[in-house]
Amino acid sequence: MKKSAKPGAERVKQGSGPEGICRELGLKLTPQRLAILEYLDGNTAHPGAEEIYEAVSGRFPGLSLATVYNTLASLRDKGRLLELAIDPAKRRYDPDTKPHHHLICVACRRIVDIEHTFDLEIPDALRMGFEIKGNEIGFYGRCPDCKKTDARKQKRDLRQGGAYVRRP
């Protein structure tokens, strides 16, 4: 097997690296856009545009938040990025575009991928003429870190003689 002269050259040729994605989608190759794509590559934190901007802007002081939003919109519109409306406070982005579901912490808003298929059937009477292309399920609850924080707070409140009121 012949090795590529440049590591990752095969990925770029196939359109999976940042440069290849830009070429495949007809997007201008800019250092800022490539940095955004590199940040998103394999990112499972489901970042918002502001988080992406903060992570990348240190390397590119001239980068604007508008550039981040425009790049995200282009990637979303071309099917290379999912825009999640799970968090009412902000849009979150998921570079994993294959079908999957999410666990969402109602306290800290952490989002975790679930790589599992759930068999769901919608009866014809409930489809209202829709042709179903896919689904995304969000499971809401408290993550392990928030559960620990709640338990510590409850113990502290009980030690101080206060009543602990559980929040949803």
114-125 burial, b at 16+ Cβ within 10 Å, e below that, comes to eeeeeeeeeeee
Same structural domain, 112 and 151: yes
- For residue 118, being part of any structural domain is answered with yes
Same structural domain, 67 and 109: no
Residue labelled with tokens 């090795």? 3
Same structural domain, 93 and 105: no
Name the 3-class secondary structure at 92. strand
Same structural domain, 35 and 88: yes
Domain boundary among 52, 67, 97: 97
- For residue 4, being part of any structural domain is answered with no
pLDDT at 92: 95
- Identify the residue with better confidence: 104 or 150: 104
- What domain range includes position 150? 98-168
Angle made by CA atoms 111, 52, 80, in degrees to the nearest 5: 75
- For residue 2, being part of any structural domain is answered with no
Least confidently predicted of 60-69, 95-104, 122-131, 159-168:
159-168
Average pLDDT, the chain: 83
pTM of the entire predicted model: 0.72
pLDDT at 12: 33
CA gap 163, 128 in Å, rounded: 48
pLDDT above 90 (res 94): yes
CA gap 56, 120 in Å, rounded: 40
CATH number at residue 126: 3.30.1490.190
Q: What is the mean pLDDT of residues 35-63?
A: 93
Provide the domain count of the chain: 2
Least confidently predicted of 2-6, 98-102, 107-111, 148-152:
2-6
- For residue 152, being part of any structural domain is answered with yes
- For residue 5, being part of any structural domain is answered with no
Residue 120's pLDDT band, with cuts at 50, 70 and 90, is: confident
Which residues, other chains included, contact 81 with Cβ-Cβ below 8 Å and sequence gap of 6+?
Answer: 40, 72, 75, 93, 94, 95, 97
Same structural domain, 81 and 107: no
pLDDT above 50 (res 90): yes
pLDDT above 60 (res 163): no
Q: What is the mean pLDDT of residues 102-131?
A: 91
- Identify the residue with better confidence: 58 or 16: 58
Structure tokens at 154: 């409850």
Closest CA to 92 of 153, 46, 126, 138: 46
- For residue 47, being part of any structural domain is answered with yes
Same structural domain, 89 and 112: no
Give the percent of the chain with pLDDT over 70: 85
